[in-house]
Amino acid sequence: QKEVEQNSGPLSVPEGAIASLNCTYSDRGSQSFFWYRQYSGKSPELIMFIYSNGDKEDGRFTAQLNKASQYVSLLIRDSQPSDSATYLCAVKASGGSYIPTFGRGTSLIVHP
Amino acid sequence: GAVVSQHPSWVICKSGTSVKIECRSLDFQATTMFWYRQFPKQSLMLMATSNEGSKATYEQGVEKDKFLINHASLTLSTLTVTSAHPEDSSFYICSARDSGTSGINEQFFGPGTRLTVL
């Protein structure tokens, strides 16, 4: 069974700090990795996706992928209170299926 | 990005009644849509994959006779919760994949429907 694990948190960081969110997955054949942000009572919105080992940066967000260790992380620089949300990691296996498996999400609280 | 709408955004119904939720892709065609359910503090749980013009594919443990899915066109899928009970109260979210893209297979999520069964 494919599993995606995240620490539920909450992760609390001060405004301006770097928030680090981690995700591990069990399917070694996984190919695509997504980070979604979900505000309370709202549906998820895609922040970033990454396919290759290494770092991928987009504004204040950096996704890091290490396939050998089977983990993917999301760094948020200069955290803002508006970043407070639940961050969902989603992993898609190789092959024809385009249905990702979602983790339970990590709650992030950025306090002023 | 592509837009997916859901209607209604929230609904309250009595136990035993049926509720229909619509999911529409507004500016793209979606041969495949997905229905998720999310309980408080829990992750998204895929209920079923809705395929245009054919039967939906249900995940293990999801009752197909209780959660009726109809994907009648390339832009509309409906989920009907039949004989709803309080334990069906949840946040139902649909997503759609743009059939015209061959890129990252991104799913576009609708805003969700909060169902409360009294």
More confident residue, B70 or B43: B70
Beta carbons of A43 and B114 less than 8 Å apart: no
Beta carbons of B42 and A41 less than 8 Å apart: no
Does residue B37 belong to the interface with chain A, where contact is any CB pair within 8 Å?
A: no
Nearest Cα residue in chain A from B36:
A43
Beta carbons of A32 and B112 less than 8 Å apart: no
Q: Which residues contact B17 (CB under 8 A, 6 or more apart)?
A: B83, B84
pLDDT, tens only, B90-101: 999 999 987 666
- Poorest-pLDDT segment among A58-62, A97-101, B74-78: A97-101
Least CB-CB distance to A44: which of B46, B97, B109?
A: B109
CA A26 to chain centroid: 15
Percent of chain B residues past pLDDT 90, beyond the cut: 69
pLDDT, tens only, B36-49: 999 988 888 999 99
pLDDT, tens only, A48-98: 999 999 999 999 999 999 999 999 999 999 999 999 999 999 998 766 566
Nearest to B97 by CA among B70, B74, B69, B72: B74
**Whether pLDDT at A37 is above 70:** yes
Nearest Cα residue in chain A from B4:
A43
Chain B residues in contact with A88 (beta carbon < 8 A): 43-44
Residue type, B104: I
Assign B72 a pLDDT band (cuts: 50, 70, 90).
confident
Computed over every residue of chain A, the mean pLDDT equals 92
Nearest Cα residue in chain A from B112:
A43
Chain A residues in contact with B1 (beta carbon < 8 A): 46
What's the average model confidence in pLDDT over B13-24?
97
Tokens of B64: 């197909």
pLDDT of residue A109: 97
Work out the number of other CB atoms within 10 angstroms of the CB of residue B14.
8
Percent of chain A residues past pLDDT 90, beyond the cut: 79
